[in-house]
């Protein structure tokens, strides 16, 4: 089964999934550019971004289709127009201001599915709806320490399983082989299609892919097994796009991966 959506005659931008995004910062604005680009390229019907002005300007220069909001516009009233949220990429919790913290907490409490990355991982315990987190190994270790959970640092399966159960969230443990853990204990492993993904910003692209897929299938995301399956497909699609970009063993950058997503999506839909 594919979670990628092919629009039909009855579809419009809203039925194809509206993704709310709170990513990027003045220090790391590129994360928002990469995640928003990836969401659009995966087939999102609409992307709405809450971010500082500098981040908005850079995103709009690349993707003028994006609807932008200032962080002072709290997302409470907008939540009904957002099918899923992408939170935290390109943010540092140590530098987070009160407006961003309030906005992130409001999104997590909205009940809509949330994809939580990087600088919002410390807040994920406040999620009211389905949640999927996308930590690398260091972030996962810090999150477990925050939760007061001691595990064997060498046992990735145990760490992922413990985090999924403690947070009632799907865990995407990024690595050369990425493992997806569902709260009920189900796991999946997706091998890297190319190790050229070992470059800055590719995790931001993955988060955007996953956000678009979850937004397009928000009703199904309440089932943890389905949400885990969406996450596994996002990882596989990310790898397929990277492999296309790196054909011939070319070095790549993260934006190359995002730009090859339409081709990877078309290939997945044709199977």
User: pLDDT for 57-88, tens place per residue?
Assistant: 999 999 999 999 999 887 766 556 899 999 99
pLDDT over 80 at 257, yes or no:
yes
Exposure pattern of 123-134 as b/e (b: 16+ CB <10 Å)? bbeebebbbbbb
The answer to whether the CB of 264 falls within 8 A of the CB of 240 is yes
Report the percent of the chain where pLDDT is more than 90. 85
Residue 186 exposed, middle or buried by CB count within 10 Å (0-12, 13-18, 19+): middle
What are the residue boundaries of the structural domains of the chain, listed by start?
Answer: 18-270
Q: For position 155, what pLDDT does the model report?
A: 77
Q: For position 76, what pLDDT does the model report?
A: 67
Helical axes 202-216 vs 224-245, angle rounded to 10° = 130
Q: How confident is the model at residue 171 (pLDDT cuts 50, 70, 90)?
A: very high
pTM of the predicted model, to two decimals? Answer: 0.96
User: What does pLDDT average to over the chain?
Assistant: 94
Residue 250 exposed, middle or buried by CB count within 10 Å (0-12, 13-18, 19+): exposed
Superfamily of domain 18-270: Ribokinase (3.40.1190.20)
Report the percent of the chain where pLDDT is more than 70. 97
Phi, psi (5° rounding) for residue 183?
-55, -30
d(CA 170, CA 192): 19
Instruction: For 184-223, write each residue's pLDDT tens digit.
Output: 888 899 999 999 999 999 999 999 999 999 999 999 999 9
pLDDT over 90 at 19, yes or no:
yes
Helical axes 30-42 vs 53-62, angle rounded to 10° = 40
Q: For position 204, what pLDDT does the model report?
A: 98
């Amino acid at each position: 089964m594919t979670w990628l959506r092919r629009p039909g005659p009855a579809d419009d931008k809203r039925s194809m999934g509206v993704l709310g995004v709170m990513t990027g910062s003045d220090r790391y604005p590129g994360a928002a550019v990469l995640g928003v680009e990836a969401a659009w390229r995966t087939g999102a019907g609409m992307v709405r971004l809450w971010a500082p002005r500098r981040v908005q300007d850079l995103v709009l220069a690349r993707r003028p289709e994006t609807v932008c909001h200032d962080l002072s516009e709290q997302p409470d009233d907008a939540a009904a127009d957002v099918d899923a949220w992408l939170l935290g990429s390109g943010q540092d919790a140590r530098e987070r201001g009160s407006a961003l913290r309030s906005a992130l907490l409001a999104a997590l409490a909205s009940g809509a599915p949330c994809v939580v990355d990087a600088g919002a991982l410390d807040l994920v315990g406040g999620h009211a709806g389905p949640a999927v987190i996308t930590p690398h190994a260091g972030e996962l270790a810090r999150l477990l320490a925050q939760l007061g959970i001691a595990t064997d640092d060498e046992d990735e399966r145990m760490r992922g399983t413990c985090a999924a159960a403690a947070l009632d969230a799907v865990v995407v443990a990024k690595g050369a082989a990425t493992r997806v853990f569902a709260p009920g204990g189900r796991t999946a492993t997706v091998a890297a299609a190319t190790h050229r993904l070992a470059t800055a910003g590719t995790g931001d692209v993955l988060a955007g892919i996953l956000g678009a897929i979850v937004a397009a299938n928000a009703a199904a995301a309440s089932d943890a097994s389905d949400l885990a399956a969406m996450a596994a497909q996002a990882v596989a699609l990310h790898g397929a796009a990277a492999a296309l970009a790196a054909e011939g063993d070319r070095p790549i950058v993260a934006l190359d991966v995002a730009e090859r997503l339409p081709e990877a999506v078309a290939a997945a839909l044709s199977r």
